[in-house]
Amino acid sequence: MSANNGLVRITRSMLASAVLIAIVAALATAYTRTGGASRQSLIAEMLSNFILVLGMQVFIGNTGVLSFGHMAFAHIAAYATAIVGIPLAAKAKALPDIPFGLADVEFGPLGVTLFAVVITMIAGALFGVAVCRASGLAPTMITLAALFVVEQLVKNWKELTRGAGGLSGITRLQGNTWLWAGAFIALVIAHLFQETRIGRFAIATREDELAAPALGIRLFTARYAAWVLSIGLIALGGSLRAQSLGSVNPKQFTLDSGILILVMLVVGGMRTVSGAVLGTVLITAGNELFRQLGDPQRLDIERFPDLFLGGAMLLAMLLRSNGLLGNRDLAGWLRRRMYRPPPAVDQPAGTAADGAAIQPSTNTLVAREIEVHFGGFVALDGAGLSVRPGEVVGLIGPNGAGKTTLFNVITGLVHEQGGTVALGERDLTDSTPVDIARAGLARTFQNLRLFKSLTVRENVALASMVAGRHRRQRECPDPDVLLADAGLTDWADREASTLDYGNQRRLELARAAALAPEFLLLDEPTSGMSDVETMAMVESVRAVAARVGAGVLVIDHDLAFITRISDHIVVLSEGRVLAEGTPADVRANPLVAEAYLGSSV
């Protein structure tokens, strides 16, 4: 099955790439039918930009991390191309003191391209560690610093780059065949990356940096894979441009050129490969049109193309902030059209696909003597609880009691100053949210954290991918079965953001269950729901827990919901456990009545 799925993904990527390149080729053919060599040169420039835009899309579009420094690596690739692509006699004159034994190295077009890509990817891989470990604005600034550093290197390392004069004499490519081949390869790679597990994980990190780790997706790994692959495509574009022009200089890949590439990506739609293609074609055509209109013989407007670029970016941000295509993509359309759900099987909750009963885990979730201080405020003061396999435990308490803080300590979002958290024999006290999720704790959030631009099915399938890799010891539920349980089958191909609030809550529950957890941790799953929806959620939670054989820890302010769903209830007050027991015991406890329910009860 896995091999068949892989073949389908490759076929789909190849088909989408072939259709897009055919459309671009048809437009290019129509444009170059008249006009001579200048139009062929414009097509060559467009194709190299095409590859560069796709390189940026792989990283920026899939991770959501903005980079201004990708052109630094195009620079490295272009100079690497020149150093091994200039004939030996010309190189001896231009670079008499060239280091590293490169004076006697000369390759043909294929060797030159491979050399440039490998060298650039090595440099990019080293640099990418810093980029992908940073957060907030830091990655963007780090990439910008890289661009400035590389610009100074190519200007001042004269033994290797000949300084400000640049290098010429690179054996030029005949025609645009290599560029067309490079563009097609870049399209296939960009499409395939979005089909892979690591590519889907990168997209999840773009959608929500908090929810992704809570599903067991490591931010650094997913983003680093996208970074390295994007640098490879950038290197391909930089190398082919240098070979197309036959020369390279320090002004070739500057911040200005990086902004041009970024505008192409943003205008078309950075989240999709189709958007990157559309943006490249439109901005190339518009840039050339405004260049001609700004000539002295016509409107005589200096830097008229810059005005066009600024206007295009402004209009895109104001009218279509996600680009002209938004989330619409040819490959995505093919994915939905080619998807064939497995045959419907009557699979009762609590049974595996083969009919065998799913046994709850033998591990107990235990939090002991948890202490959390926020400055001088004591949020938790020796609080604790335990959840046995297959049990539903409700956690209640007045506002400020520490419920969500305890929840976040258990799932690794808040670091405790004292106490321990364990799942069976495994100590989770100092574990990260990623490791905790992979260990078998899946959570939902008080404020919905869906991957909103992904479809309903894709939300659940992402968690299923994590389970397939890290939860193999458990029976992994089929995403379509979970969607059917949640009543979401008819909306499976809709974006998650288009669902109503109640269905979004059910989707978040189904996504958590797809992780094949030992315990489901639900943070106010009925928040904002009507009484009817709340009662329906009772059945949904129990059905989903039975489906995957999981225990449940649930926070909620709705006492009717908690008493209906829980086997055992823990009451917090001022960071301590005030009472615990069966729902009936808790209702009858006068301390609970005073602290939580009101003294009149």
Q: What pLDDT is attached to residue 355? A: 47
Q: Is 527 part of a structural domain of the chain?
A: yes
Tokens of 5: 């799925």
Q: What pLDDT is attached to residue 601? A: 41
Number of domains in the chain: 2
Q: What pLDDT is attached to residue 594? A: 80
Which residues does 589 contact at the CB level (< 8 Å), separation at least 6? 571, 579, 581
User: Which residues is 568 bridged to in the sheet?
Assistant: 393
Give average pLDDT by consecutive 10-residue segment, the chain, 601 residues: 72 93 94 85 94 97 94 96 94 92 93 97 96 93 95 93 92 92 96 95 95 95 97 97 94 91 94 95 91 81 85 88 90 82 57 56 91 91 93 90 92 94 94 95 93 94 93 87 91 93 93 94 88 85 90 87 91 91 89 67 41
CA atoms 461, 490, 210, 423: torsion sign: negative
Q: Is 29 part of a structural domain of the chain?
A: no
Q: Is 380 part of a structural domain of the chain?
A: no
DSSP state of 444: -
* CA distance from start to end of the chain: 59
Q: Is 174 part of a structural domain of the chain?
A: yes
Q: Is 291 part of a structural domain of the chain?
A: no
Nearest to 176 by CA among 67, 15, 333, 48: 48
Q: What pLDDT is attached to residue 344? A: 55
- Name the domain boundary from 512, 536, 554: 554
Nearest to 213 by CA among 555, 470, 483, 476: 470
Tokens of 244: 């197309």
Q: How many CA atoms lie within 13 A of 316 on its CB side?
A: 24
Q: Is 121 part of a structural domain of the chain?
A: yes
Give the 3-state secondary structure of 371-391. Answer: EEEECCEEEEEEEEEEECCCC
Cα torsion 409, 414, 417, 422 to 10°: value is 30
What is the CATH classification number for the domain harbouring 401?
3.40.50.300
Q: What pLDDT is attached to residue 353? A: 52
Q: Is 101 part of a structural domain of the chain?
A: yes
- Name the domain boundary from 554, 579, 595: 554
Q: Is 489 part of a structural domain of the chain?
A: yes
- Name the domain boundary from 253, 278, 296: 253
Phi, psi at residue 299, to the nearest 5°? -85, -20
Q: How far apart are CA 336 and CA 43, in angstroms?
A: 33
Determine the structural domain holding residue 200 and report its residue range.
2-23+45-253
Q: What pLDDT is attached to residue 600? A: 47
Q: What pLDDT is attached to residue 1? A: 47
Nearest to 395 by CA among 522, 505, 513: 522
Nearest to 444 by CA among 396, 531, 362, 505: 505
